[in-house]
Amino acid sequence: MSSIYSEIILDYYRNPRNKGKLDRAQIRAKDTNPLCGDVIEIQMELDGDSKVKDIRFNGMGCAISQASASMLTELVKGKSLDEARKISKEDILSLIGGQLSAVRLKCALLSLKVMKTGLYNYIGSLENAKEELSSL
Amino acid sequence: MSSIYSEIILDYYRNPRNKGKLDRAQIRAKDTNPLCGDVIEIQMELDGDSKVKDIRFNGMGCAISQASASMLTELVKGKSLDEARKISKEDILSLIGGQLSAVRLKCALLSLKVMKTGLYNYIGSLENAKEELSSL
Amino acid sequence: MQKTVQYNVEKVRQDFPILQRIINGKPFIYLDNAATAQKPRQVIETLDRFYKEYNANIHRGIYKVSEEATAAHEEARAKVARFINARSPNEIVFVRGTTEAINLVAHAWGRKNVGLGDNIMLTEMEHHSNIVPWQLLAKEKGASLKYVGITDQGILERYEFQQHLQSGAKLFAVAHSSNVLGTINPVRELIREAHKTGCCVLVDAAQSVPHMPVDVQDLDCDFLAFSGHKMCGPTGIGVLYAKGNLFDEMVPFHGGGEMISEVHPYESSWKPPPYKFEAGTTNIEGAIGLGAAIDYLSNIGLRKIRLHEREITAYAIDKLSRTKGITIYGPSDPQARGGVVSFNLGDVHPHDMATLLDEDGIAVRSGQHCAQPLHERLGIPATTRASFYLYNTEDEVDRLANSLERVRGIFKL
Amino acid sequence: MQKTVQYNVEKVRQDFPILQRIINGKPFIYLDNAATAQKPRQVIETLDRFYKEYNANIHRGIYKVSEEATAAHEEARAKVARFINARSPNEIVFVRGTTEAINLVAHAWGRKNVGLGDNIMLTEMEHHSNIVPWQLLAKEKGASLKYVGITDQGILERYEFQQHLQSGAKLFAVAHSSNVLGTINPVRELIREAHKTGCCVLVDAAQSVPHMPVDVQDLDCDFLAFSGHKMCGPTGIGVLYAKGNLFDEMVPFHGGGEMISEVHPYESSWKPPPYKFEAGTTNIEGAIGLGAAIDYLSNIGLRKIRLHEREITAYAIDKLSRTKGITIYGPSDPQARGGVVSFNLGDVHPHDMATLLDEDGIAVRSGQHCAQPLHERLGIPATTRASFYLYNTEDEVDRLANSLERVRGIFKL
Ligand SMILES: Cc1ncc(COP(=O)(O)O)c(C=O)c1O
Ligand SMILES: Cc1ncc(COP(=O)(O)O)c(C=O)c1O
d(CA B118, CA B4): 29
Q: Please answer yes or no on whether A37 and D356 come within 8 Å at the CB atom.
A: no
pLDDT at B4 (0 to 100): 85
Ligand whose nearest atom lies closest to the CA of C235: 2
Q: Please answer yes or no on whether C235 and D23 come within 8 Å at the CB atom.
A: no
pLDDT at D1 (0 to 100): 46
Indicate the pLDDT class of residue B103, thresholds 50, 70 and 90. Answer: confident
pLDDT digits (tens, 9 = 90+) for C170-222: 999 999 999 999 999 999 999 999 999 999 999 999 999 999 999 999 999 99
Q: Which of D160, D153, D95, D166 has its CA nearest to residue D122?
A: D160
- The atom number, within ligand 2, closest to the CA of C179 reads 16
Q: Where are the alpha helices (DSSP H) in C321-369?
A: 350-359
> What average pLDDT does the structure give for chain A?
91
Assigned CATH topology for domain C45-299: Aspartate Aminotransferase; domain 2 (3.40.640)
pLDDT at D334 (0 to 100): 83
Taking residue D4's Cβ as centre, other Cβ atoms within 10 Å add up to 12
Cis peptide before D274 (omega within 30 of 0): yes
Q: What share of chain C is helix, strand, coil (3-state, %, to 5)?
A: 45, 20, 40
**What is the rounded radius of gyration, in angstroms, for the C-alpha atoms of chain B?**
14
Q: What is the largest CA-CA distance in chain A?
A: 48
What is the nearest CA distance from A129 to chain D, expressed in angstroms? Answer: 29
d(CA D38, CA D297): 12
- The atom number, within ligand 2, closest to the CA of C176 reads 1
The angle, 0 to 180 degrees and rounded to 10, between the axes of the packed helices D41-49 and C41-49 is 170
pLDDT at C1 (0 to 100): 46
Considering only alpha carbons, which residue of chain C is nearest residue B62?
Answer: C349
Ligand whose nearest atom lies closest to the CA of D369: 1
Burial environment of residue B80 by CB neighbours within 10 A (0 to 12, 13 to 18, 19 or more): middle
Q: Is the CB of D233 under 6 A from ligand 1?
A: no
Q: Check if the beta carbon of residue D21 is closer than 8 Å to that of residue D28.
A: yes
The kind and range of the H/E element at C145 are strand C144-148
d(CA C397, CA C343): 14
Q: Check if the beta carbon of residue C36 is closer than 8 Å to that of residue D55.
A: yes
Q: Which of C314, C319, C321, C362 has its CA nearest to residue C340?
A: C314
Q: Which residues of A touch D24 (CB under 8 A)?
A: 1
DSSP code at position C271: P
User: Is the pLDDT at C51 greater than 50, yes or no?
Assistant: yes
Given ligand 2 and candidates C95, C177, C179, C387, which is best to mutate, with the most ligand atoms within 8 Å of its CB? Answer: C179
Span from the CA of D67 to the centroid of ligand 2 (angstroms):
20
How many angstroms separate the first and last alpha carbons of chain C?
30
Q: Which residues pair with C145 in a beta bridge?
A: C120
- The atom number, within ligand 1, closest to the CA of D178 reads 1
Cis peptide before C89 (omega within 30 of 0): no
DSSP D264-288: -SS-EEEPPTTGGG--SS--HHHHH
Residue C173, SS3 per DSSP: strand
d(CA A129, CA C412): 75
Mutate to test the interface with D, among C30, C103, C263 (most CBs of D within 10 A): C263
Q: Check if the beta carbon of residue C96 is closer than 8 Å to that of residue D238.
A: no
Please tell me which of the candidates C32, C236, C257 has its beta carbon nearest to residue D237.
Answer: C236
Active site residues of D: 370
pLDDT digits (tens, 9 = 90+) for C315-336: 999 999 999 999 999 998 888 9
Q: Which of D89, D113, D106, D84 has its CA nearest to residue D176?
A: D84
Residue D321, SS3 per DSSP: coil
Beta-carbon contacts of residue A100 (< 8 Å; ≥ 6 apart):
A4, A64, A93, A107, A108
How many angstroms separate the first and last alpha carbons of chain D?
30
Higher pLDDT, D311 or A33: D311
DSSP code at position C231: G
d(CA D155, CA D260): 44
d(CA D6, CA D215): 24
Residue C202, SS3 per DSSP: strand
**What is the rounded radius of gyration, in angstroms, for the C-alpha atoms of chain A?**
14
Taking residue B122's Cβ as centre, other Cβ atoms within 10 Å add up to 17
Residue C340, SS3 per DSSP: strand
pLDDT at A134 (0 to 100): 83
Burial environment of residue C364 by CB neighbours within 10 A (0 to 12, 13 to 18, 19 or more): buried
Beta-carbon contacts of residue C288 (< 8 Å; ≥ 6 apart):
C46, C47, C50, C69, C72, C73, C76
d(CA D72, CA D291): 9
Given ligand 1 and candidates C281, C282, C284, C285, which is best to mutate, with the most ligand atoms within 8 Å of its CB? Answer: C281
Q: Is the CB of C15 under 6 A from ligand 2?
A: no
Q: Could you tell me the CA-to-CA distances from C278 to C29, C50, C88, C291 in Å, in that order?
A: 37, 21, 17, 17
DSSP code at position D337: B
In degrees to the nearest 10, what's the CA dihedral of C252, D271, C94, C212?
-130
pLDDT at D116 (0 to 100): 97
D154: left (phi over 0), alpha (psi -120 to 50) or beta: left
Q: Which CATH number fits domain A3-134: 3.90.1010.10, 3.30.360.10, 3.40.1830.10, 2.40.128.110?
A: 3.90.1010.10
Q: Is the CB of D204 under 6 A from ligand 1?
A: yes
Over chain D (413 residues), what is each successive 10-residue block's mean pLDDT?
72 98 96 98 98 93 94 97 97 98 98 97 98 98 98 97 97 98 98 98 98 98 98 98 96 95 94 96 98 98 97 97 97 92 97 96 96 96 96 98 97 93
What is the residue with the minimal CA distance to atom 15 of ligand 2? C206
How many residues can be counted in chain B? 136
Q: Which of C70, C73, C72 has its CA nearest to residue C93?
A: C73
Q: Which residues of D touch B108 (CB under 8 A)?
A: none
User: Is the pLDDT at A126 greater than 90, yes or no?
Assistant: no
What is the nearest CA distance from C335 to chain D, expressed in angstroms? Answer: 28
pLDDT at A33 (0 to 100): 83
The yes-or-no reply on B/A contact (3 CB pairs or more, < 8 Å) is: no
Indicate the pLDDT class of residue B2, thresholds 50, 70 and 90. Answer: low
Architecture of the domain spanning C9-30+302-411: Alpha-Beta Complex (3.90)
What is the nearest CA distance from C385 to chain D, expressed in angstroms? Answer: 11
Q: Which residues of B touch D75 (CB under 8 A)?
A: none
Cα-flanking dihedrals φ and ψ of residue D131, to 5°?
-125, -55
pLDDT, mean of residues C267-295: 97
Q: Which residues of C touch D227 (CB under 8 A)?
A: 280-281
Q: Check if the beta carbon of residue D340 is closer than 8 Å to that of residue D180.
A: yes
DSSP code at position C86: -
Considering only alpha carbons, which residue of chain A is nearest residue C257?
Answer: A35
Q: Is the CB of C385 under 6 A from ligand 2?
A: no
Give the β-pairing of D29-30 and D362-363: parallel
Q: Please answer yes or no on whether C411 and B37 come within 8 Å at the CB atom.
A: no
Span from the CA of D127 to the centroid of ligand 1 (angstroms):
7
How many angstroms separate the first and last alpha carbons of chain B?
27
DSSP C18-51: GGG-EETTEE-EE-BTTT-----HHHHHHHHHII
D270 near C CB under 8 A: no
pLDDT digits (tens, 9 = 90+) for A38-57: 899 999 999 987 899 999 99
d(CA C204, CA C176): 6
Given ligand 2 and candidates C32, C36, C95, C99, which is best to mutate, with the most ligand atoms within 8 Å of its CB? Answer: C99
What is the nearest CA distance from B32 to chain D, expressed in angstroms? Answer: 10
The kind and range of the H/E element at D341 are strand D340-345
C256 near D CB under 8 A: yes
Q: Is the CB of D179 under 6 A from ligand 1?
A: yes
Q: Is the CB of C280 under 6 A from ligand 1?
A: yes
Q: Which of C121, C178, C159 has its CA nearest to residue C331?
A: C178
- ipTM of the complex as predicted: 0.94
Span from the CA of D100 to the centroid of ligand 2 (angstroms):
20
Given ligand 2 and candidates D60, D281, D285, which is best to mutate, with the most ligand atoms within 8 Å of its CB? Answer: D281
Q: Where exactly are the structural domains of chain D? A: 9-30+302-411, 45-299
d(CA D78, CA D43): 17
Q: Which residues of A touch C62 (CB under 8 A)?
A: 36, 101, 103-104
What is the residue with the minimal CA distance to atom 16 of ligand 1? D179
Give the β-pairing of C362-363 and C29-30: parallel
Considering only alpha carbons, which residue of chain B is nearest residue C355?
Answer: B104
User: Is the pLDDT at C2 greater than 70, yes or no?
Assistant: no
The angle, 0 to 180 degrees and rounded to 10, between the axes of the packed helices D350-359 and A102-122 is 140
State the amino acid at position D292 in one-letter form: A
Q: Where are the alpha helices (DSSP H) in D18-104?
A: 41-49, 64-83, 98-104
pLDDT at C5 (0 to 100): 57
Considering only alpha carbons, which residue of chain A is nearest residue C270?
Answer: A34
Span from the CA of D233 to the centroid of ligand 2 (angstroms):
25
Q: Please answer yes or no on whether A37 and D382 come within 8 Å at the CB atom.
A: yes
- Sign, CA torsion D210/D216/D218/D223: positive
Give the β-pairing of C365-367 and C383-387: antiparallel
pLDDT at C386 (0 to 100): 98
